[in-house]
Structure 1
Amino acid sequence: MAITTLSSREFNQDTSRAKKAASKGPVFITDRGKPAHVLLSIEEYQRLSGERRSLLNSLSMPGLACIEFDPPKLQISVKPADLS
C-alpha cells in the first residue's frame, strides 16, 4: 500500500493525480504542512467503515454466478419432551 502526501495546493491543481494515488493507498492532504484530510478509494472506505453489502447486492456481483454452492443436508433428530 502506497501512501501519498499532497499539499492542498497540489491537490487543487492535480485532482486526477490524487484520485490515481488513492487507488493505490491513502492520500494525505496537508494544510500548511499539517495533515488535514485523507482521500481513500470507496472500497477502502467501505472496508474501514465496516459497511456491509446487502445479500442482494452481493449476489448480483459479476462473476459470482459461477461459484458452486452445495451445502450438506442438515440432520436434526427431535426427541419428545419428558413431562412426567
Structure 2
Amino acid sequence: MIVTVEQRTATLSFQDDRPVTLLWDHKRWQVLDAPTRIGAPGNRSYSPLITHPPRPWAGWRFTARVDDRTQTYVFDLRETNCNSYEVLGVYE
C-alpha cells in the first residue's frame, strides 16, 4: 500500500557507503535491510534513435523502522545533493 507523503525531503547518514539512518517526517528511522541502489546511471549507453534519454540520477531503496518501532516502511529516495534526498515513494 502506498503511504501518503507530505514531507518530500529526507536526510541519510551512511556507514561504509550504505544508508544506516534516515531522518524524515520529524522522525529517525533505522535502515533494516541491505539498501539497493536505484536510478539511471550517467554511464548508461542509449541507442542513437532515442532522442531524449533520461537525465542521470541516483537513489536508494530500503526498508526502515522508526526508532519507537511503531512503523516500518519501504522507501524510494532520489539524491538531490550531499546527503539530501527527495522522497519518491513510501510503501507499507
TM-score, normalised to structure 2's length?
A: 0.21
Q: Which has the larger radius of gyration?
A: 1
TM-score, normalised to structure 1's length?
A: 0.22
Larger helix fraction of residues: 1
- Higher relative CO (Cα under 8 Å, sequence separation at least 6) belongs to 2
Larger strand fraction of residues: 2
